[in-house]
Amino acid sequence: MRLKEKTAIITGAGNGIGKEAALTFSREGANVVVADFDEAAAGAVVAELKEKGGNAIAVKVNVADQESVNNMVAEAVSAFGTVDILINNAGVTADAMLHKLSPQEWQKVIDVNLTGVFYCTQAVIPKMVEQGKGKIIMTSSVSGIYGNVGQTNYSASKAGVVGMTKSWAKELGGQGINVNAVAPGFVETGMVAKVPEKVIEKLKTTIPVNRLGKPADIANAYLFLASDESDYVNGAVLHVDGGIMM
Ligand code: CAA
Ligand code: NAI
């Protein structure tokens, strides 16, 4: 088991990639904090993990609300004593062409995808510094690296995540805390299900491996970055996108 007795907070773990990561981490021996705005989904994931013999708790959190984030970390520490791994996985889209993008759509995505990552990371750092070890994993996107039509807000947030990853890797690396990002391509989840079919069809022709990603493709990358195998990896952005752009 690669994460035996480690405690991992996974935000957005009620659905999609985060849910798959919760299943993967639990299989590898981690105590999993399934943190999500969608309380019912988080509860269902925890029930599944427990049925399979895992240790997990569900926590309702809005990552864009600092008080809610602090409560999430307090609940994790109260249940498992510590936090070893944080996966900043929760994220949202509100796609629109630039000329139609409203200030509300701009702000919502920035609040969750960028400010939320700041709140969650700041809240777990004291515990990790105290332990002299920790793993922070960020979720960027192909859209944050190369840009994407209709995603002004989202690509800004995901490019910002790369900037934070590198700043924190420099700031925290000396204290035993690794900070790395995964930049997924298009992955089969509820988020991509909202993309118009004509856009997906066009997209598929640009992916060298000839398929969209699966949640497990990303969960496996998270697992590597959460395990001791990646102790010398810091400030990296791991592209898991089938080679969509090079
Ligand atoms: N790549 C290339 N062309 C695109 C495109 C894309 N990603 N998205 C839209 N276009 C094109 C459309 O095909 C269309 O072209 P035509 O006029 O030649 O048909 C043109 O842009 C305008 O698009 P719409 O007619 O759909 O305009 P709209 O105002 O009704 O909708 C939109 C705009 C909301 C941006 C809609 O096109 C859309 O949802 N596009 C998909 C955006 C996208 O790729 N989102 C990714 C979500 S998944 C995700 O974000 C995960 C991740 O990290 C990758
Ligand atoms: P999803 O929509 O399937 O799941 C996202 C989860 O985050 C949901 O359970 C939702 O309730 C939760 N969430 C949303 N806002 C929240 C908030 N304020 N506080 C707490 N939880 C909140 O999305 P998916 O596809 O699993 O995405 C996971 C991450 O991967 C996101 O950061 C996304 O931007 C990123 N990503 C996804 C890609 C894809 O193609 N699906 C590609 C690249 C990156």
Does residue 246 have a pLDDT over 90?
A: no
Q: Which of 235, 94, 93, 64 is nearest to 162 (CA)?
A: 235
Output the ligand 1 site: residues, CB below 6 A: 93, 95-97, 100, 141-143, 148-151, 154, 186, 191-192, 195-196, 198-199, 202
Cβ contacts of 28 within 8 Å, gap of 6 or more: 1, 2, 3, 4, 223, 227
Q: Which of 186, 228, 208 is nearest to 85 (CA)?
A: 228
pLDDT in tens, 126-172: 999 999 999 999 999 999 999 999 999 999 999 999 999 999 999 99
Q: Per the structure, how many domains does the chain have?
A: 1
Alpha-carbon Rg of the chain, whole angstroms? 17
Query: Which 8-state DSSP code applies to residue 63?
Result: T
Indicate which CATH number applies to the domain containing 134: 3.40.50.720
What does the pLDDT average to over 106-127?
Answer: 99
How confident is the model at residue 232, as a pLDDT? 98
- Residue 2: band (very low, low, confident or very high) from pLDDT cuts 50, 70, 90: very high
How confident is the model at residue 117, as a pLDDT? 99
Atom of ligand 2 at shortest distance to CA of 218? 30
Residues 199, 210: Cα–Cα separation, whole Å: 15
Domain of residue 46 covers 7-239
Is 2 among the domain residues? Answer: no
Is 246 among the domain residues? Answer: no
* Encoded tokens for 114: 């960028």
Quote the mean pLDDT of the chain.
Answer: 98
Residues 170, 245: Cα–Cα separation, whole Å: 27
Q: Which of 125, 143, 146 is nearest to 134 (CA)?
A: 125
Query: Which 8-state DSSP code applies to residue 236?
Result: -
Does residue 107 have a pLDDT over 90?
A: yes
Tokens 């066009």 correspond to 202
* Encoded tokens for 49: 């993990």
Burial class for 240, CB neighbours closer than 10 Å (0-12, 13-18, 19+): middle
- Say how many Å lie between the CA of residue 174 and the centre of ligand 2: 30
Is 245 among the domain residues? Answer: no
Q: Which of 220, 190, 180, 217 is nearest to 27 (CA)?
A: 220
- Residue 237: band (very low, low, confident or very high) from pLDDT cuts 50, 70, 90: very high
Is 1 among the domain residues? Answer: no
Output the ligand 2 site: residues, CB below 6 A: 11-12, 14-18, 36-38, 41, 61-64, 89-92, 112, 116, 139, 141, 184, 186-187, 189-192
Beta bridge partners of 139: 182
DSSP code string of 171-222: HHGGGTEEEEEEEE--BSSHHHHTS-HHHHHHHHTT-TTSS-B-HHHHHHHH
Does residue 60 have a pLDDT over 90?
A: yes
pTM of the model: 0.98
Is 165 among the domain residues? Answer: yes
- Helix then strand count (H, E) for the chain reads 10, 7
Cβ contacts of 99 within 8 Å, gap of 6 or more: none
- CA-to-CA separations, 204 to 103, 119, 209, in angstroms, rounded: 31, 35, 9
- Residue 180: band (very low, low, confident or very high) from pLDDT cuts 50, 70, 90: very high
Tokens 């929760």 correspond to 90
Is 191 among the domain residues? Answer: yes
Does residue 245 have a pLDDT over 90?
A: no
